[in-house]
Amino acid sequence: MLQRTERRFWQDTPEITSHHAQVERQVQEFLTAPVPPLPRDYFVSPAETVKMIARLPKRKALGSDGIPIAAIRQLPKRAMLVMTRLFNGILWTAHFPRNWKMGRVIAIPKAGKDPRLVTSQWPITLLSYIAKLFELIDACTAT
């Protein structure tokens, strides 16, 4: 029975193996491809993006996209450049991504109250930290 279970859970199918190989190739292409320079009329510099990332709170719940702040803080330099280009594109087009407007609502029980009652819950909305980072940058560039 152990062998049958082991085969069932540990044996990679050709589809999984080829998918993993494809993902690995795409990651390597992303990390090694040259990043085009920013146009002269950019709104946000990579240094500003890094500075704003440092201002994000350290210990918070995951955002609605499941990306923790710790992961954003540890992004490689190349990813910071790509994120800066994304932020500049959003500012240039004045189009805020729709999925950044979505949040996940969770209820936190109030202390000393019956947790089964709706009135005994504090609703909070978890939003994407990348969207919050963009909003921080936008607020600083607007002033």
pLDDT digits (tens, 9 = 90+) for 62-96: 888 888 899 999 999 888 988 998 998 888 888 88
- DSSP symbol at 138: H
Quick count: other Cβ atoms within 10 Å of Cβ 81?
A: 17
Residue 40, pLDDT score: 61
Contacts of residue 43, Cβ cutoff 8 Å, sequence gap at least 6: 87, 88, 91, 92, 141
CB 129 within 8 A of CB 72: yes
Q: At what angle do helices 129-142 and 46-55 cross, to 10 degrees?
A: 120
Residue 20, pLDDT score: 82
Residue 9, pLDDT score: 58
